[in-house]
Structure formats: C-alpha cells, structure tokens
Amino acid sequence: MTHLTLLDGRFQLQTQLGTGGMATVWRAHDLERGEDCAIKVLSPQRAQNSDLLGRFLQEATTMSELEHPHLLSVFDLHVDHKKNEDVTFIV
C-alpha cells in the first residue's frame, strides 16, 4: 500500500482523522522516531492567506506551551517546499 508522505518520506500519512475550515488532521507514522503521531496539515489555499497562516503558526506556538495529560504535545512545525507549493503542518 502506498501512503502519502511528508518530509521526503519521514512521515507516512495513514488515516484522515478529520477536516475543518483551515486544516486536515491525519494519523501518521514518524519513521525517524518509530512512533505514530498526529499531523495537522494547513490547507494550501489557506496557507496563501497571511492572516490565516499567522493564526495557524500562533496555534502551534500556543499548543507547544501547554502541558496537560489530555492534550497532545507539539513536537515540531514544518514548512515543506515541494513542487512550488508550501505545505505547512504541525506534528
């Protein structure tokens, strides 16, 4: 089975968990760390809007500062430049 990938194949997107107005959340596997994770991918159309991109980046920053047993930890924020299209995502 072929998986969609990010970062030159490091993250294999496996199952789409949900879609909202700005982004899609995927269950993924991080081959470098050997762990499953969730990845929130900003819609390419939204990434071109500087206000929405700023909100997405602020969300990542705010989430990375929170610690609670019922919240996911933020491991990283990426902008992947491929095929002249920026893909922005939170791991």
Tell me: the pLDDT tens digits for 17-52? 999 988 999 999 999 999 999 999 998 888 888 898
Instruction: Please tell me the predicted confidence (pLDDT) of residue 85.
Output: 58
Report CA-CA distances (Å) from 62 to 6, 43, 50, 57, 91. 23, 20, 18, 9, 14
Instruction: Please tell me the predicted confidence (pLDDT) of residue 76.
Output: 83
Instruction: Please tell me the predicted confidence (pLDDT) of residue 8.
Output: 76
Instruction: Please tell me the predicted confidence (pLDDT) of residue 29.
Output: 95
Give pLDDT tens digits for 52-75.
888 988 989 998 899 898 888 888
Rounded Cα gap, residues 7 and 14, in angstroms: 15
Instruction: Please tell me the predicted confidence (pLDDT) of residue 2.
Output: 55
Instruction: Please tell me the predicted confidence (pLDDT) of residue 82.
Output: 61
What's the token pair of residue 32?
């470098």
Report CA-CA distances (Å) from 55 to 6, 10, 25, 40, 74. 22, 26, 16, 13, 16
- pLDDT band per the 50, 70, 90 thresholds, residue 7: confident
Residue 21 is given by DSSP the state S
